[in-house]
A = this chain, B = another copy of it.
Amino acid sequence: MYEALKCYGSSEMIHKLKNKDSLFLCVIASTLTSRITGITGAGATPELTDYTPAADVELVTLGKPLCLSEIPKTVIANTSTPTPAVITKASLDLSNIPILVADAGAAVKPNIPYINLNETPGGNINTGKAVVNSEKIFDKGFMLGKTLSKLTDHLIIGESTPAGTTTALGVLTAMGYEVNHKISGSTPENPHTLKHRVVENGLKLSGCKVGELKNDPFKAIDAVGDPMIPAVAGIVMGSNIPITLAGGTQMTAVCAVLKGIFPEFDFNSLSIATTIFVAEDENSDINFIANQISDICIFAVDPFFEKSKTQGLINYTKGSVKEGVGAGGAMFAAMLKGISIDEIRIRTEELCREIF
């Protein structure tokens, strides 16, 4: 079962999570940062990134997006790669894991039931004014985490936040972590220089210096973060059950915020689960970032997309998209329920055929 699963850190967590009731929560958010040309691949054009979070969760829930006429995709050199929402849907469908959606500030709201945590999208971090009152979003997340802990034994939290690696870079930079060329991205040529320039500019305009906000994560988010980060941090802090953060380097920003708020935070019942495309990416280093925060267990799932006949999925093996909508964590959770990675890949291919 686990040949498709790599574990960085103690694999004891797997035994804690096996045979538990699981709930998948997808937290969605937008920022104007995603409108910066070339910064993200999470949408066919910068304007369409506004629709990506809503379309993603509509796709996972209903099998098709309602707010867009086609599914979100990354277009590079005329070849398009489908949103990782198809991987998430395949995994959750096969394992019968329920999904809830929480809005931390999506520009376009999904046309399905969703939990309201915050309505307003984030600004462009280039301005140094990214999020209005992240602490309030954290507090709402905290309440939600408390409630969800009573409804399941294992909470998997994914996200859809276009340009979210840039805003994660912002928070980690403001908090003093070494992240130079370590953050992931949704395109093969990760635009590190552009991302760093935007973050530095935003930090300068916010009046904060690099690294001075280690113990003030809310100020870091308000300056150069996004609304997803405090929402997920709050949900984790309010929970008392094992949590899987389903995402790539963005989730390390959540961990940094947790440690910043509560330095004694116990990372023993938390893990990050992502895809092999993030974990083995040569243009980023999730383990390097995580190790600076704590001894955080990281799982990476390999869906063997090189075996696929679907070009869009093969593009993942070449660095397109890599992760998102909790795809890595959803595969991980399905595998914990006994679903094989081949079943997941085959169902993902079927979904691509049905949806396209």
A residues within 8 Å of B by Cβ? Answer: 23, 61, 96, 98-100, 102-103, 109, 112-117, 140-141, 143-144, 147, 150-152
Contacts and interface: CB of A to CB of B under 8 A. Distances in A.
By DSSP majority rule, is chain A's interface helix, strand, loop, or mixed?
mixed
Taken together, the copies of this chain in the complex come to 2
Given A99-B147, A147-B100, A113 B116 contact: yes
B96 A102 contact: no
Contacts of A117: 113
Nearest to A231: B113
A144 B100 CA distance: 9
Given A151-B151, A152-B151, A113 B102 contact: yes
B113 A144 contact: yes
5 contacts: A23-B151, A113-B143, A114-B115, A115-B116, A116-B116
A66 B152 CA distance: 28
Contacts of A112: 140, 143
Contacts of A99: 147
B114 A147 contact: no
A125 B112 CA distance: 27
A326 to B, nearest CB: 16
